[in-house]
Amino acid sequence: MRDWSMKGRPEVFAPEFNQIAGMPELFTDLTIKLHFVRLCSHGREWNYPQRQQAANTLYFVLGGDAFIRHGTNTMPLLPGHAYLLPRGCPLDLHCHTHIQKIWCWFDLLLHNTVDILDGQTTPFHLGQHDFTLAELPDMTARLFRRQIEDHLFWLGTICRYLARLDQDLSECYHHTRQRTGKLMPLFDYIENNLSAKLTLDELASVMKCHPNSLSRLFCRTTGMTLSRYLRRRLMQKAAAMLADRELAVFEIAHELGFADEYYFNRVFRKYFGIAPGKYRHGFFHDSAGPESSDQQS
């Protein structure tokens, strides 16, 4: 299959490539942040209309009969295939019996701040994945060990599947760069100080302009009102915190600057159409019933 281990003094391989070529330092402003990779099965409780994605989601579907609906289009989630559901893209999730998948949550960030897939409104079919049944036990073992090399392994896997987006990815990148250009300090400040208490006046003072001109500039540049963007980022962060087991719901509400848990519950439910507790439940309980939650370490 391979003939690298040539004996004697090997000739130069492939003379047509006998030149120095490579990518310049072009995309070092792009980083990928992996929140988690999980192996999970869900039954019909997975069905959910108009679920917002709180982070970019990559599915490697292993089994089941699920499909997603975006607008009037339906996309089946075929076993053996990979799918990207961009963050903020509202979808209906459906399955008749169950869905089994490897499920990755990640951000693809420009300047560690703005997700370049934010704003994508359609899911992507990335084609067949190449996880063979033989290597799957080893790959899933990596999910249980939680070591840094496993983190890098999955990061690498996700990058290579994202590369299949080709032209679409270039568009996301250049569009985001263009869209955020002048506003980058604002996005930076928002990410570092994200809280329900953040005010327009505070942001205007960061950008050294009048609150009204900031609102207008933001709306013109991004096509979205600033308050809508803030609520969206706040809810995405809340969802990411719920997907982690560390903090109780009332602690998350407090951390994010909400006056009380009840108000947080109301805002979250309005945004995602589901209460925070139930949202978390969906992350940690599978179709085998509540007792299976004891198995996850």
Residues, the chain, total? 297
Q: Cα(290)–Cα(293) distance, rounded to whole angstroms?
A: 6
Residue 170 Cβ vs a second copy, minimum distance, rounded to whole Å: 5
292 in contact with a second copy (CB under 8 A): yes
Which residues are registered as beta bridge partners of 10? none
DSSP string, 95-135: EEEEEEEEEEEEEEEETTTEETTTT--S-EEEEE----TTT
Selected from 127, 163, 247, 278, the binder of a second copy by CB under 8 A is 163
- Contacts to a second copy from residues 245-284, by CB under 8 A: 245-246, 283-284
Q: Which stretch binds a second copy (CB under 8 A): 163-171, 215-223, 225-233, 255-263?
A: 163-171
Residue 265 Cβ vs a second copy, minimum distance, rounded to whole Å: 23
138 in contact with a second copy (CB under 8 A): no
What contacts 150, CB < 8 A, 6 or more positions away?
A: 142, 143
Rg (CA), the chain: 22
Selected from 77, 158, 242, 256, the binder of a second copy by CB under 8 A is 158
Site string for a second copy, 181-200 (x = CB under 8 A): --------------------
70 in contact with a second copy (CB under 8 A): no
Of 5 and 72, CB closest to a second copy: 5
32 in contact with a second copy (CB under 8 A): yes
Q: How many residues bind a second copy (CB under 8 A)?
A: 96
b/e per residue 222-235 (b: at least 16 CB within 10 A)? beeebeebbebbbb
Q: Is 82 helix (H, G, I), strand (E, B) or coil?
A: strand
Q: Is 25 helix (H, G, I), strand (E, B) or coil?
A: coil
Residue 217 Cβ vs a second copy, minimum distance, rounded to whole Å: 26
